[in-house]
Structure 1
């Protein structure tokens, strides 16, 4: 037996014997670019893990490993150890997570919103078992910013969305939400959206301001509408088999890194929306940004009950429990953020 073979055999034995205690390289993919919100969160997570363990984190931004569906499959199969994906794309796997697309459920007030994500029983207790059933360990959820519509025509009422082909994530409830708003929802992978707007296949899409700015969606649309209907939510998960196999020490390293990244990303987002909108206006002065009045929002808000009822139909066995718990959590967060 050569020296090389002995070394390989010894290494194999060491890896099998040591499990999570050895220095490993962990792979983490997300749905945005490195300098966008998910990328910033991932970089902070990497920094914390590498500062407090011998492990290394490899980051894979959007497009490097395929579309959202691809990275989710890779996370479930164990090719990836960590993945950041919006419930918008996990709706088919975890129907209960579609609750985040009931319009006007999440508050606009940032302090209340952050308090909710920190303390929510629905997020911290009810969702983890549902993710576990899909081979995923839910580590955290966090908000990414107020969702805005970008369209080729002005939108001040649901009538303005009539027959507008509006790109949505592949999520049944988001489809239902935009149908209720009067649009023609058109599910498309993100990589196809810019070209579809450019060629007129679709006439609108929604995202937070930072994402509209960084992906240059303003180049192929003329109006940004702030209807206040939602805040973009995302979830960071680990492959469950991988996570369960970690030592207690490594689990603590991961959770501490997640907590540090959560605090960091909340601070990072302070003022980000307004800065992003300013950059859009500098790049394209002809862009029209409209914040709808309460009167203009009223007909959009009137659809919430219909979408909520649809959620209870398609949202899985625990839909009612999760919706009720989220409402209780939101009420508690509103009280907590005032104190």
Structure 2
């Protein structure tokens, strides 16, 4: 819809007009905050975006990694207020504001095969059209969603079935559907801001959490847990957004420049993540040889998949017809991505 209309309109922008707009535009400093460290996936994406913007304009992009401007709720508030021009935040934290975004937390909906995942995020109609309008209603311009790898559960005790999670206080993001997921899995979901997680695991206030393995390595979660379990239940999704008033106030040529920079960063980050999970696991094993890495069999995953069905039903109850339509479109997009990969 909007993104495609803009893309079509770009073809009529002459090179001379682009040069004139660029020359006359005021050079500004744009502020971009994200939820990870500079050397993590979101940080690498942000740095590539910064490089492209500064190479193709007179603007400067100032980057703010996790913690420099507060927690996730803080940077979202600043982005919506226009203090930040850009923000990268997982739908896990925007789910309360945009309930339909919680669809990414329906267990076993998203594939874990990298080729299918990458094709889906590149071509999904739900992501590239439907979600744009939902984010715009909240004052945000959705520029790109991208994957950050399969999530794994890190726990103090071994987990091979939902019964093993009984009584386990499991940290979740402040996301209603993720809470529903771990409740269905048998755990006691415990929403916590990220800054409190390491200490809570260290003091046994909680006994588990989930994240992509690169983040488990980067944040040293393996130091306070003993098992890394792959249940195949999800991947981590994040979204790069701009303040809508800021973005719509840019000349068309500068909007195009921003979106081109986002596309370059997107292609870069998909390539950057190739083999990242395996590399991170090797680093963890070297740092903590006693760590236990568990890949659940299909038979062991089946009870988790059965529990996931009630989470999907709960998602539809929470979001109504709008959420149901998003879910159906996502399933269509995923089927098309699988077919496209199989055809190649």
Normalising TM by the smaller chain, what interval?
A: over 0.9
Gaps of 5+ in 2: 1-21
Hey, what's the Cα distance between the residues in 2 that align with 1:331 and 1:311? 20
- The alpha-carbon deviation at position 315 of structure 1 amounts to 2.4
Distance (Å, rounded) in 2 between the aligned partners of 1:46 and 1:268: 16
The Cα of 1:21 is off from its aligned counterpart by: 1.8
Q: How many residues align?
A: 323
Q: Report the secondary structure of 2:341's partner residue.
A: helix
Report the counterpart of residue 239 of structure 2 in structure 1: 235
Number of the residue aligned with 2:94: 90
1:279 aligns with 2:280: no
Deviations 1:148-201 (A, max 9, x none): 000000001000000100000000000000000000000000000000000000
Note if contact 1:166-1:184 (Cα within 8 Å) is conserved in structure 2: yes
Q: Is the 8 A contact 1:23 1:56 kept in 2?
A: yes
1:116 maps to what in 2? Answer: 120
Looking at CA atoms only, which structure, 1 or 2, has the larger radius of gyration? 1
Deviation at 1:109, TM superposition (A): 1.1
Instruction: Quote the residue 2:64 is aligned against.
Output: 60
Contact 1:19 1:245 in 2 (8 A): no
4+ residue runs over 2 A deviation: none
Matched, 1:196 2:200: yes
RMSD of aligned Cα (Å): 1.3
Deviation at 1:316, TM superposition (A): 4.9
SS of the residue aligned with 2:241? strand
- SS of residue in 1 equivalent to 2:201: helix
Q: CA deviation at 1:317?
A: 4.5
Separation in 1, partners of 2:108, 2:319: 17
Alignment of 1:165-314 (within 5 A): 165-314=169-318
User: d(CA) in 2 for partners of 1:29 and 1:266?
Assistant: 20
3-state SS of the aligned residue for 2:257?
helix
CA separation in 2, counterparts of 1:53 and 1:263?
A: 20
Q: CA deviation at 1:305?
A: 1.2
1:30 counterpart residue number:
34
* Ranges in structure 1 where 5+ consecutive residues have no aligned partner: 1-17
Does residue 1:163 correspond to 2:178, yes or no? Answer: no
Q: Deviations over 1:208-250 (max 9, x none)?
A: 0000000000000000000010000000000000000000111
Tell me how far 1:60 sits from its aligned partner: 0.1
TM-score (norm 1): 0.94
TM-score by length of 2: 0.92
